[in-house]
Amino acid sequence: MRNQYGFFALVALALAMPSVIRADPPAAAPPGSANVGDVRVQNLKAYTYAFVSTQTSLNKLQDAIAELMPRIDAAMDSGALRPIGGVVFTYHGATQDPTKPFTLDIGVMVKDGNAKPDGIQLIKVGPLYCATVIYTGPAAQLGQAYGKLYGEIGRHGWQASDVSREVYLYWEGAESVNNVIQVQADLSPTN
């Protein structure tokens, strides 16, 4: 944590400098715009994951989210879950076929030792070896991130498993251009 505070102190110092020294900030993104970052291969640390799960398909995804998300929200609101990271959607076996069933887990990264609340599963995830991309924008355009991610996986000949994740780093609402989501695709360690 000490390094993070040092970083914030440097940012505060930079913001306090006269505007003549700083470059003008970039213009705000136009409504409805999205941005997809570069694809990276990362080794991510293990974490404890508290989640609820269901079988669904892409064409029924919104109904599944509407069913599961309130259960996670209630557990966090009651203090039963001690989150240390954003909400994570984990897709097991999802494909581009909108009618094909797959397993959806919705949960949060929690502190190690978090007690298991009723109706919530707790598991240790990882460590992970995956291809990732950062997406910024409205939920309706998130497919752009998947297209770029899996396009790069195919271009490089990497072997992806059937597990992908969306880690919601910042969320304002489905239409917001300010949402920040990391999309992950698990890779075989032989890549």
Convert the pLDDT of each residue in 43-99 to its tens digit. 999 999 999 999 999 999 999 999 999 999 999 999 999 999 999 999 999 988 999
Q: Which of 136, 62, 52 is closest to 90 using CA atoms?
A: 52
pTM: 0.80
Q: Domain boundaries in the chain?
A: 35-187
3-state DSSP of the chain: CHHHHHHHHHHHHHHHCCCCCCCCCCCCCCCCCCEECCCEEEEECCEEEEEEEEEECHHHHHHHHHHHHHHHHHHHHCCCCCEEEEEEEEEECCCCCCCCCEEEEEEEEECCCCCCCCCCEEEEECCEEEEEEEEECCHHHCHHHHHHHHHHHHHHCCCEEEEEEEEEEECCCCCCCCCEEEEEEEECCCC
Distance of alpha carbon 71 from alpha carbon 52, whole angstroms: 8
Please, what sign has the CA dihedral across residues 41, 46, 50, 55?
positive
Q: What is the pLDDT of residues 83-103, one digit of tens each?
A: 999 999 999 999 889 999 999
CB atoms within 10 A of CB 108: 25
Q: Which of 180, 188, 146 is closest to 164 using CA atoms?
A: 146
Position 151 pLDDT exceeds 60: yes
Position 10 pLDDT exceeds 70: no
Placement of tokens 């009723």 in the chain = 118
Q: What is the CA angle 185-149-190, rounded to 5?
A: 50
CATH architecture of 35-187: Alpha-Beta Barrel (3.20)
